[in-house]
Chains A and B, each alone.
Chain A
Amino acid sequence: MPHVIETRQLTKAYGSLKAVDKVDITVESGEIFGLLGPNGAGKTTIISMLCTILKPTSGTATVNGYDIVKEANKVRKSIGIVFQDPSIDDRLTGRENLYMHANLYGVPASEHKERIDRILKLVELEDRADDLLRTYSGGMRRRLELGRGLIHYPKVLFLDEPTVGLDPQTRDHIWKYIRDLKKVQDITVVLTTHYMDEADRLSDRIAIMDHGKIVILDTPPKLKETLEGDVVAVKAKNIDALSELVTKYLGLEKKQIIDGALEITVRNGKALMPRIMELATQNNIYVESILLREPNLEDVFLYYTGRTIREDSSKELHGVAAIHRRSIK
């Protein structure tokens, strides 16, 4: 059984900047494959190349057995895409948008009505099908786009940040559709996201991307296991000072400050907790609480990239990130 997607040294460079740098991944039939990384990591660039929107600078890839450069048209026919940004015509109705898509992808005219009705039912938009798109809410538009991507029975569905900008309730809704897709038709899903929970809850396997490279690729449980360690979360009055101290005296660098708590990823949390307490006491830092927990995907990301995926805190860890990226290789 050949892989549904296979990339070999896939690279996209813009001048000296390598947006995607020699990426080798394989995606198997029927899985939900997640590409996780901060904005600018190269997720969308990979997707764009696999969807034949961008041509690779070097390297190659096949989708459904077709070469993305030489057989672009065959690739296009066999995939569905939901873009990061909206891509529907808001002056047409939901149904008209779906008809147009069916025509663009050469769906036999005799099957249009049946397929479109089925899709509208799937994304629960039957009662709004004949309203202009401009009257739809953001979540409804997203659902229509998701449904639209399925009309021509693609073998692979690409979802680029499917829930970005949506409220939590709508996001839950979209997740449900994505998970239910496999029940309705035989399909492989590739999704990009910078939401940890989204990647964790949807993906069978996750590739963590940073600076155009795949840092690590595995199932969510295994990714968490690979940390072989614990997270020590400390709450203290002078958190920044404590953060500097643990690096200076205990040599701990895999850390981040989240909501006023210092979270440190370590191999042996139990042994380290007393050391941290000691250090705090010596330096007159009042510790409010300290706890030990299992690592989550956010910690996995921090461990492998040396920084948090949250854009706001990524800056302060930039120097550390650079050091750790080198030490991982």
Chain B
Amino acid sequence: MTEIRGFYTLWLREIKRFLRDRIRLVSSFVQPLLWLVIFGAGFGLRFAIPGLSYQQVIFPGIVGQTLLFTAMFMGISVIWDKEFGFMKEVLVAPISRFTIFLGKMVGDSTSAFLQGIIVFLVGMALGIPLNPVTLIYALPVMLLITFGLVSIGLTIASFMGNLESFGAIQTFINLPLFFLSGALFPLKGPGINLPSWLTVVAAWNPLTYGVDALRNIVLGSAWAPFQIRSLGVDLGYVALFDGIMIVIGTWAFTRMK
């Protein structure tokens, strides 16, 4: 019971902090807007997928990107808490490190998830053809993707002493994960011919399956020829990744002093 209440209170704290941070909320509108408008429309590429615009194709990728960047950024809260001492209060509390990790992870995931929803709304406002029903299916998938990604951020941050080095490490992880996930282009399908090293690396990238899952849901049958795996398999991979990252993250929190 103590563990559940501990989890709840840590989760609630992350949400409150997120909702009180106005600048972060505003920036969560702006970044996807830039990608979708400038990159998506301005790129002006005649795209080889029948019935889909380039903007439509990258839209789930931009959702994935937002989840990735936000999730990784959340790791900062760990460094922040260490720097300002609040982490001590939590670490000496009579609750397990697993609960502490889970509370923070699910709390941060919820915040990242809220930003993902904002991107959906931005997409609709931009006139990208989106069936509102797909949003309902996409929600749990977005949350599932976020768990693992937030865990990466929290794990790295638990080892880091200061904000600067975390920022540097983040860039090393964010951009490769993003570019190698097929967020901006299909990885396979009719007429797609990518260098084999790229497809091999992408196959080991958990975000690849997250983005593919979102495309399977949002784009439906039009995406079928280009899909990497079926929705079920995509989700299986994402869940497996989440499980592994939660174990690693809990371990990382256990050794934190």
Contact = CB atoms under 8 A, between A and B. Distances in A.
A91 B2 CA distance: 24
A104 B20 contact: no
Main secondary structure on chain B at its contact with chain A?
helix
Contacts of A323: none
A36 to B, nearest CB: 23
Contact of A104 (B6, B17, B85, B87): B6
A87 interface: yes
A103 interface: yes
A87 B93 contact: no
Contact of B2 (A52, A83, A88, A106): A106
Contact of B93 (A76, A83, A85, A96): A76
Given A92-B13, A105-B93, A105-B94, A83 B6 contact: no
Size band of the A side of the interface? 20 to 34
B9 A99 contact: yes
A57 to B, nearest CB: 15
Contacts of B84: 86, 89-90
A100 interface: yes
A53 B257 contact: yes
A101 interface: yes
Given A51-B92, A83-B85, A101-B89, A106 B20 contact: no
B1 interface: yes
Given A96-B16, A100-B9, A103-B8, A52 B85 contact: no
B188 interface: no
Interface of A: 51-54, 73-74, 76-77, 81, 83, 85-92, 96, 99-101, 103-106, 109
Interface in B1-19: 1-2, 5-6, 8-10, 12-13, 16-17
A292 to B, nearest CB: 46
A104 B13 contact: no
A103 B9 CA distance: 6
Size band of the B side of the interface? 20 to 34
Given A103-B5, A103-B6, A104-B6, A91 B94 contact: no
- Determine which residue in B10, B84, B257 has the highest number of CB atoms from chain A within 10 A of its CB, and name it: B84
Contacts of B5: 103-104, 106, 109
Contacts of B17: 89, 91-92
A73 B16 CA distance: 28
B16 A81 contact: no
A86 B87 CA distance: 10
Given A87-B85, A96-B16, A104-B9, 12 more contacts: A51-B92, A52-B92, A53-B91, A73-B94, A76-B92, A85-B88, A88-B89, A91-B17, A100-B9, A100-B12, A104-B95, A106-B94
A85 B85 contact: yes
A106 B94 CA distance: 8
A196 to B, nearest CB: 26
Contacts of A85: 85, 88
Given A92-B13, A92-B16, A104 B86 contact: no
A104 B257 contact: no
A329 to B, nearest CB: 33
Contacts of B94: 73-74, 76-77, 104-106
Interface in B32-85: 84-85
B16 A87 contact: no
Given A86-B84, A103-B8, A104-B6, A81 B92 contact: yes
24 contacts: A51-B92, A53-B257, A74-B94, A76-B92, A76-B93, A83-B89, A87-B85, A87-B86, A87-B89, A88-B86, A89-B86, A92-B16, A92-B17, A96-B13, A100-B9, A100-B13, A101-B89, A101-B93, A103-B8, A104-B89, A104-B90, A104-B95, A106-B2, A106-B6
Contacts of B86: 87-89
Nearest to B81: A89
A103 B90 CA distance: 11
Contacts of B90: 104
A89 B257 CA distance: 18
Contact of B88 (A83, A92, A106): A83
